[in-house]
Protein backbone atom coordinates (compact mmCIF):
# COMPACT_ATOMS: atom_id res chain seq x y z
CA UNK A 1 0.00 0.00 0.00
CA UNK A 2 1.22 3.50 -0.81
CA UNK A 3 0.99 5.49 2.40
CA UNK A 4 2.55 8.80 3.37
CA UNK A 5 3.74 8.82 6.98
CA UNK A 6 3.29 12.07 8.89
CA UNK A 7 4.70 12.94 12.30
CA UNK A 8 2.08 14.10 14.83
CA UNK A 9 1.99 15.45 18.35
CA UNK A 10 -0.42 12.84 19.71
CA UNK A 11 -0.98 9.22 18.77
CA UNK A 12 -4.77 8.95 18.45
CA UNK A 13 -5.32 12.25 16.65
CA UNK A 14 -2.31 11.47 14.45
CA UNK A 15 -3.59 8.00 13.57
CA UNK A 16 -7.18 8.98 12.72
CA UNK A 17 -6.14 12.05 10.73
CA UNK A 18 -3.75 9.83 8.74
CA UNK A 19 -6.49 7.26 8.09
CA UNK A 20 -8.92 9.94 6.94
CA UNK A 21 -6.38 11.57 4.62
CA UNK A 22 -5.82 8.16 3.05
CA UNK A 23 -9.57 8.13 2.31
CA UNK A 24 -9.53 11.57 0.72
CA UNK A 25 -10.58 13.73 3.67
CA UNK A 26 -8.44 16.89 4.12
CA UNK A 27 -7.94 16.26 7.82
CA UNK A 28 -5.15 17.72 9.95
CA UNK A 29 -4.28 16.42 13.38
CA UNK A 30 -5.48 19.59 15.09
CA UNK A 31 -8.78 19.52 13.19
CA UNK A 32 -9.32 15.89 14.22
CA UNK A 33 -8.61 16.78 17.85
CA UNK A 34 -10.88 19.82 17.90
CA UNK A 35 -13.73 18.39 15.84
CA UNK A 36 -13.97 15.49 18.29
CA UNK A 37 -14.07 17.88 21.28
CA UNK A 38 -11.12 16.05 22.81
CA UNK A 39 -9.68 18.76 25.06
CA UNK A 40 -10.41 17.98 28.68
CA UNK A 41 -9.15 17.64 32.23
CA UNK A 42 -10.08 14.94 34.70
CA UNK A 43 -8.83 14.08 38.17
CA UNK A 44 -10.00 10.55 38.97
CA UNK A 45 -8.77 9.48 42.43
CA UNK A 46 -10.81 6.26 42.27
CA UNK A 47 -8.86 4.98 39.23
CA UNK A 48 -5.31 4.05 40.14
CA UNK A 49 -2.15 3.83 38.05
CA UNK A 50 0.68 2.28 40.09
CA UNK A 51 -1.27 3.24 43.20
CA UNK A 52 -1.71 6.88 42.15
CA UNK A 53 -4.83 8.65 40.83
CA UNK A 54 -5.46 9.01 37.12
CA UNK A 55 -5.03 12.56 35.84
CA UNK A 56 -6.04 13.14 32.22
CA UNK A 57 -5.78 16.17 29.94
CA UNK A 58 -7.89 14.86 27.05
CA UNK A 59 -11.04 12.84 26.50
CA UNK A 60 -10.96 9.08 27.08
CA UNK A 61 -9.23 6.72 24.60
CA UNK A 62 -11.06 6.17 21.28
CA UNK A 63 -13.17 9.32 21.78
CA UNK A 64 -11.21 11.19 19.08
CA UNK A 65 -11.85 8.42 16.56
CA UNK A 66 -15.51 8.03 17.48
CA UNK A 67 -16.04 11.78 17.69
CA UNK A 68 -15.22 12.21 14.00
CA UNK A 69 -17.70 9.65 12.72
CA UNK A 70 -20.85 11.81 12.96
CA UNK A 71 -19.41 15.00 11.34
CA UNK A 72 -18.19 12.92 8.38
CA UNK A 73 -21.14 10.50 8.31
CA UNK A 74 -18.49 7.78 8.51
CA UNK A 75 -18.38 4.20 9.71
CA UNK A 76 -15.43 2.62 11.49
CA UNK A 77 -15.20 -1.04 12.45
CA UNK A 78 -13.63 -1.93 15.82
CA UNK A 79 -12.62 -5.51 16.63
CA UNK A 80 -11.09 -7.20 19.67
CA UNK A 81 -9.89 -10.80 19.99
CA UNK A 82 -9.56 -13.56 22.54
CA UNK A 83 -6.12 -14.70 21.40
CA UNK A 84 -3.00 -13.20 19.75
CA UNK A 85 -3.30 -15.80 16.99
CA UNK A 86 -6.80 -14.64 16.05
CA UNK A 87 -5.73 -11.00 16.25
CA UNK A 88 -2.75 -11.53 13.96
CA UNK A 89 -4.77 -13.55 11.45
CA UNK A 90 -7.34 -10.77 11.18
CA UNK A 91 -4.68 -8.09 10.84
CA UNK A 92 -2.95 -10.04 8.07
CA UNK A 93 -6.25 -10.54 6.25
CA UNK A 94 -7.07 -6.83 6.31
CA UNK A 95 -3.58 -5.91 5.09
CA UNK A 96 -3.95 -8.43 2.24
CA UNK A 97 -7.12 -6.57 1.23
CA UNK A 98 -5.15 -3.31 1.05
CA UNK A 99 -6.67 -1.88 4.23
CA UNK A 100 -4.95 0.65 6.46
CA UNK A 101 -5.37 -0.67 10.00
CA UNK A 102 -5.25 1.17 13.32
CA UNK A 103 -4.13 -0.66 16.47
CA UNK A 104 -4.26 0.02 20.20
CA UNK A 105 -1.05 -1.16 21.87
CA UNK A 106 1.16 -0.98 24.94
CA UNK A 107 4.11 1.38 24.64
CA UNK A 108 6.18 -0.86 26.90
CA UNK A 109 6.34 -3.79 24.44
CA UNK A 110 7.09 -1.86 21.24
CA UNK A 111 10.83 -2.47 20.64
CA UNK A 112 11.35 0.58 18.44
CA UNK A 113 10.66 2.84 21.42
CA UNK A 114 13.91 3.84 23.18
CA UNK A 115 14.19 2.10 26.59
CA UNK A 116 13.82 5.37 28.51
CA UNK A 117 10.49 6.06 26.75
CA UNK A 118 8.89 2.70 27.56
CA UNK A 119 6.31 2.52 30.32
CA UNK A 120 3.15 0.52 30.95
CA UNK A 121 0.59 2.55 29.01
CA UNK A 122 -1.91 0.43 27.07
CA UNK A 123 -3.66 3.06 24.94
CA UNK A 124 -1.01 3.91 22.37
CA UNK A 125 -2.38 4.06 18.81
CA UNK A 126 -0.46 3.32 15.64
CA UNK A 127 -1.13 2.47 11.99
CA UNK A 128 -0.11 -0.67 10.12
CA UNK A 129 0.09 -0.24 6.34
CA UNK A 130 1.87 -3.41 5.23
CA UNK A 131 3.91 -6.49 6.03
CA UNK A 132 7.26 -7.70 4.73
CA UNK A 133 8.29 -11.16 5.85
CA UNK A 134 7.73 -11.30 9.59
CA UNK A 135 7.88 -7.51 10.02
CA UNK A 136 4.89 -5.21 10.08
CA UNK A 137 5.30 -1.80 8.46
CA UNK A 138 4.17 0.75 10.99
CA UNK A 139 3.33 4.42 10.85
CA UNK A 140 3.61 5.49 14.47
CA UNK A 141 2.71 9.20 14.46
CA UNK A 142 4.92 10.08 17.43
CA UNK A 143 8.01 9.14 15.38
CA UNK A 144 9.37 11.13 12.47
CA UNK A 145 9.87 8.09 10.20
CA UNK A 146 8.03 4.78 9.62
CA UNK A 147 9.00 1.84 11.80
CA UNK A 148 9.16 -1.96 11.59
CA UNK A 149 7.99 -4.38 14.25
CA UNK A 150 8.33 -8.17 14.38
CA UNK A 151 5.04 -10.07 14.65
CA UNK A 152 5.82 -11.50 18.11
CA UNK A 153 6.61 -8.06 19.52
CA UNK A 154 3.51 -6.51 18.02
CA UNK A 155 1.34 -9.33 19.37
CA UNK A 156 2.76 -8.77 22.85
CA UNK A 157 2.01 -5.03 22.60
CA UNK A 158 -1.53 -5.68 21.35
CA UNK A 159 -2.39 -8.15 24.10
CA UNK A 160 -0.74 -6.50 27.11
CA UNK A 161 -2.58 -6.85 30.41
CA UNK A 162 -3.59 -4.17 32.91
CA UNK A 163 -5.52 -0.89 32.87
CA UNK A 164 -6.95 -0.12 29.40
CA UNK A 165 -5.83 -3.54 28.15
CA UNK A 166 -6.19 -3.36 24.34
CA UNK A 167 -7.35 -6.98 23.84
CA UNK A 168 -5.89 -6.91 20.35
CA UNK A 169 -8.06 -3.98 19.31
CA UNK A 170 -7.87 -3.03 15.64
CA UNK A 171 -9.98 -0.67 13.60
CA UNK A 172 -10.38 0.52 10.03
CA UNK A 173 -12.57 2.94 8.10
CA UNK A 174 -15.49 1.28 6.31
CA UNK A 175 -17.19 4.24 4.64
CA UNK A 176 -17.26 8.04 4.55
CA UNK A 177 -20.27 9.85 3.11
CA UNK A 178 -19.11 13.43 3.75
CA UNK A 179 -15.52 14.48 3.01
CA UNK A 180 -15.84 18.20 3.77
CA UNK A 181 -16.13 19.84 7.18
CA UNK A 182 -19.28 21.88 7.71
CA UNK A 183 -19.21 25.12 9.69
CA UNK A 184 -22.04 23.94 11.94
CA UNK A 185 -20.09 20.80 12.87
CA UNK A 186 -17.22 22.99 14.03
CA UNK A 187 -19.50 25.22 16.09
CA UNK A 188 -21.14 22.16 17.67
CA UNK A 189 -17.74 20.65 18.51
CA UNK A 190 -16.56 23.83 20.23
CA UNK A 191 -19.76 24.04 22.25
CA UNK A 192 -19.37 20.41 23.38
CA UNK A 193 -15.83 21.12 24.54
CA UNK A 194 -16.96 24.20 26.44
CA UNK A 195 -19.58 22.12 28.27
CA UNK A 196 -16.91 19.60 29.25
CA UNK A 197 -14.48 22.17 30.61
CA UNK A 198 -17.18 24.06 32.53
CA UNK A 199 -19.05 20.96 33.68
CA UNK A 200 -20.64 21.14 37.16
CA UNK A 201 -18.78 17.98 38.18
CA UNK A 202 -16.00 18.23 40.81
CA UNK A 203 -13.58 15.88 39.04
CA UNK A 204 -13.89 17.22 35.46
CA UNK A 205 -12.76 20.39 33.69
CA UNK A 206 -11.73 23.45 35.67
CA UNK A 207 -13.37 22.02 38.81
CA UNK A 208 -11.19 18.94 38.49
CA UNK A 209 -8.11 21.18 38.34
CA UNK A 210 -9.16 22.85 41.58
CA UNK A 211 -9.81 19.50 43.24
CA UNK A 212 -6.31 18.34 42.33
CA UNK A 213 -4.92 21.67 43.58
CA UNK A 214 -6.59 21.07 46.95
CA UNK A 215 -5.03 17.61 47.11
CA UNK A 216 -1.57 19.01 46.31
CA UNK A 217 -1.94 21.71 48.95
CA UNK A 218 -2.70 19.06 51.60
CA UNK A 219 0.43 16.96 50.93
CA UNK A 220 2.86 16.99 53.89
CA UNK A 221 6.25 18.57 53.21
CA UNK A 222 9.17 16.23 53.84
CA UNK A 223 7.19 13.06 53.17
CA UNK A 224 8.58 10.70 50.51
CA UNK A 225 5.03 10.03 49.31
CA UNK A 226 4.65 13.74 48.54
CA UNK A 227 7.56 13.67 46.11
CA UNK A 228 6.19 10.49 44.52
CA UNK A 229 2.77 12.10 44.16
CA UNK A 230 4.17 15.23 42.52
CA UNK A 231 6.27 13.06 40.22
CA UNK A 232 3.19 11.12 39.23
CA UNK A 233 1.26 14.29 38.39
CA UNK A 234 4.11 15.45 36.14
CA UNK A 235 4.35 12.03 34.50
CA UNK A 236 0.63 11.98 33.77
CA UNK A 237 0.89 15.45 32.29
CA UNK A 238 4.02 15.15 30.20
CA UNK A 239 4.66 11.48 29.43
CA UNK A 240 1.25 9.86 28.98
CA UNK A 241 -0.28 11.33 25.84
CA UNK A 242 0.92 14.73 24.74
CA UNK A 243 0.79 16.65 27.99
CA UNK A 244 -1.32 19.42 29.44
CA UNK A 245 0.48 22.08 27.41
CA UNK A 246 0.61 19.98 24.25
CA UNK A 247 -3.13 19.40 24.09
CA UNK A 248 -3.75 23.12 24.59
CA UNK A 249 -1.41 23.90 21.70
CA UNK A 250 -3.19 21.38 19.46
CA UNK A 251 -6.57 22.89 20.32
CA UNK A 252 -5.21 26.39 19.69
CA UNK A 253 -4.18 25.25 16.20
CA UNK A 254 -7.70 23.88 15.72
CA UNK A 255 -9.20 27.27 16.64
CA UNK A 256 -7.04 28.90 13.97
CA UNK A 257 -8.36 26.44 11.38
CA UNK A 258 -11.91 26.84 12.68
CA UNK A 259 -11.66 30.62 12.25
CA UNK A 260 -11.49 30.08 8.50
CA UNK A 261 -13.61 26.95 8.07
CA UNK A 262 -16.50 28.28 10.18
CA UNK A 263 -16.08 31.97 9.25
CA UNK A 264 -15.37 32.92 12.87
CA UNK A 265 -12.36 35.26 12.62
CA UNK A 266 -12.57 36.09 16.33
CA UNK A 267 -11.25 32.59 17.08
CA UNK A 268 -7.75 33.62 16.01
CA UNK A 269 -7.45 35.71 19.16
CA UNK A 270 -8.68 32.80 21.26
CA UNK A 271 -6.01 30.59 19.71
CA UNK A 272 -3.31 32.98 20.91
CA UNK A 273 -4.89 33.14 24.33
CA UNK A 274 -4.98 29.37 24.69
CA UNK A 275 -1.35 29.13 23.62
CA UNK A 276 -0.46 31.37 26.57
CA UNK A 277 -2.46 29.09 28.86
CA UNK A 278 -0.47 26.16 27.48
CA UNK A 279 2.73 27.98 28.38
CA UNK A 280 1.41 28.15 31.96
CA UNK A 281 1.03 24.36 32.00
CA UNK A 282 4.64 24.04 30.87
CA UNK A 283 5.81 26.24 33.72
CA UNK A 284 3.77 24.17 36.17
CA UNK A 285 5.37 20.95 34.89
CA UNK A 286 8.84 22.48 34.98
CA UNK A 287 8.50 23.63 38.59
CA UNK A 288 7.11 20.27 39.67
CA UNK A 289 9.93 18.41 37.89
CA UNK A 290 12.55 20.59 39.56
CA UNK A 291 11.07 19.74 42.96
CA UNK A 292 11.09 16.03 42.18
CA UNK A 293 14.73 16.19 41.05
CA UNK A 294 15.80 18.11 44.14
CA UNK A 295 16.65 21.32 42.30
CA UNK A 296 14.03 23.28 44.23
CA UNK A 297 12.52 22.90 47.69
CA UNK A 298 9.41 20.73 47.70
CA UNK A 299 6.51 23.13 48.20
CA UNK A 300 3.15 21.54 47.41
CA UNK A 301 1.21 24.77 48.18
CA UNK A 302 3.21 26.60 45.50
CA UNK A 303 2.21 24.00 42.91
CA UNK A 304 -1.39 24.16 44.12
CA UNK A 305 -1.36 27.93 43.63
CA UNK A 306 -0.07 27.58 40.07
CA UNK A 307 -2.74 24.97 39.31
CA UNK A 308 -5.50 27.23 40.65
CA UNK A 309 -4.25 30.01 38.38
CA UNK A 310 -4.46 27.64 35.41
CA UNK A 311 -8.01 26.75 36.41
CA UNK A 312 -8.97 30.42 36.65
CA UNK A 313 -7.48 31.17 33.24
CA UNK A 314 -9.21 28.23 31.60
CA UNK A 315 -12.56 29.02 33.20
CA UNK A 316 -12.40 32.60 31.93
CA UNK A 317 -11.23 31.40 28.52
CA UNK A 318 -14.08 28.92 28.00
CA UNK A 319 -16.73 31.31 29.32
CA UNK A 320 -15.54 33.93 26.84
CA UNK A 321 -15.34 31.33 24.05
CA UNK A 322 -18.92 30.34 24.79
CA UNK A 323 -20.05 33.89 24.05
CA UNK A 324 -17.92 34.02 20.91
CA UNK A 325 -19.63 31.00 19.30
CA UNK A 326 -23.12 31.71 20.64
Q: pLDDT by residue (tens digit) across 261-305?
A: 999 999 999 999 999 999 999 999 999 999 999 999 999 999 999
d(CA 9, CA 284): 20
Last residue of a domain, one of 176, 203, 233: 176
For residue 6, being part of any structural domain is answered with: no
Enclosing domain of residue 252: 183-324
User: What is residue 240's predicted lDDT score, i.e. its pLDDT?
Assistant: 58
**Helices 267-292, 300-324: crossing angle, 10 deg rounding:** 170
Last residue of a domain, one of 141, 176, 211: 176
The predicted model gives 12-19 an average pLDDT of: 95
d(CA 237, CA 243): 4
Regarding whether 142 and 213 lie in a shared domain, the answer is no
Regarding whether 202 and 147 lie in a shared domain, the answer is no
Q: What is the pLDDT of residues 118-149, one digit of tens each?
A: 877 898 999 999 999 999 999 999 899 999 99
Regarding whether 287 and 148 lie in a shared domain, the answer is no
Q: What percent of the chain has pLDDT over 70?
A: 98
Is-contact 37 13, C-beta < 8 A? Answer: no
Last residue of a domain, one of 138, 154, 176: 176
User: What is residue 267's predicted lDDT score, i.e. its pLDDT?
Assistant: 97
**Does residue 276 sit in helix, strand or coil?**
helix
The predicted model gives 83-102 an average pLDDT of: 97
Q: What is the pLDDT of residues 156-201, one digit of tens each?
A: 999 999 888 999 999 999 999 999 999 999 999 999 999 999 999 9
Domain count, the chain: 2
Length of the chain, please?
A: 326
For residue 2, being part of any structural domain is answered with: no
On the question of pLDDT at 241 being above 60, the answer is: no
pTM over 0.85: yes
Regarding whether 196 and 112 lie in a shared domain, the answer is no
On the question of pLDDT at 27 being above 60, the answer is: yes
On the question of pLDDT at 324 being above 80, the answer is: yes
Whichever domain contains 54, its CATH number is 3.90.70.10
Is-contact 326 236, C-beta < 8 A? Answer: no
CB under 8 Å to 310, separation ≥6 — which residues? 209, 277, 280, 281, 284
Regarding whether 235 and 197 lie in a shared domain, the answer is yes
On the question of pLDDT at 153 being above 80, the answer is: yes
8-state DSSP, 161: -
Regarding whether 117 and 210 lie in a shared domain, the answer is no
Buried b (16+ CB within 10 A) or exposed e, 158-183: bbbeeebbbbbbbbbbeebeeeebee
For residue 1, being part of any structural domain is answered with: no
Is-contact 64 9, C-beta < 8 A? Answer: no
Band the pLDDT of 48: cuts 50, 70, 90. confident
Amino acid sequence: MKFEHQHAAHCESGVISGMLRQHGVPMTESLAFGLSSALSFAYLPFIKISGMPLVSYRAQPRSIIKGLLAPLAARCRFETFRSPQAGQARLDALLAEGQLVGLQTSVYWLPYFPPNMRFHFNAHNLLVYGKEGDDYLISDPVFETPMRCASADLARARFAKGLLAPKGLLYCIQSIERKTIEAQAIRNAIRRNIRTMLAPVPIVGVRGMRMLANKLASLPVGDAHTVDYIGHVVRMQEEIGTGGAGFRFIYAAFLEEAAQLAALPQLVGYASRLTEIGDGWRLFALKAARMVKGREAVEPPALAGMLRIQADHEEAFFRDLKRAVA
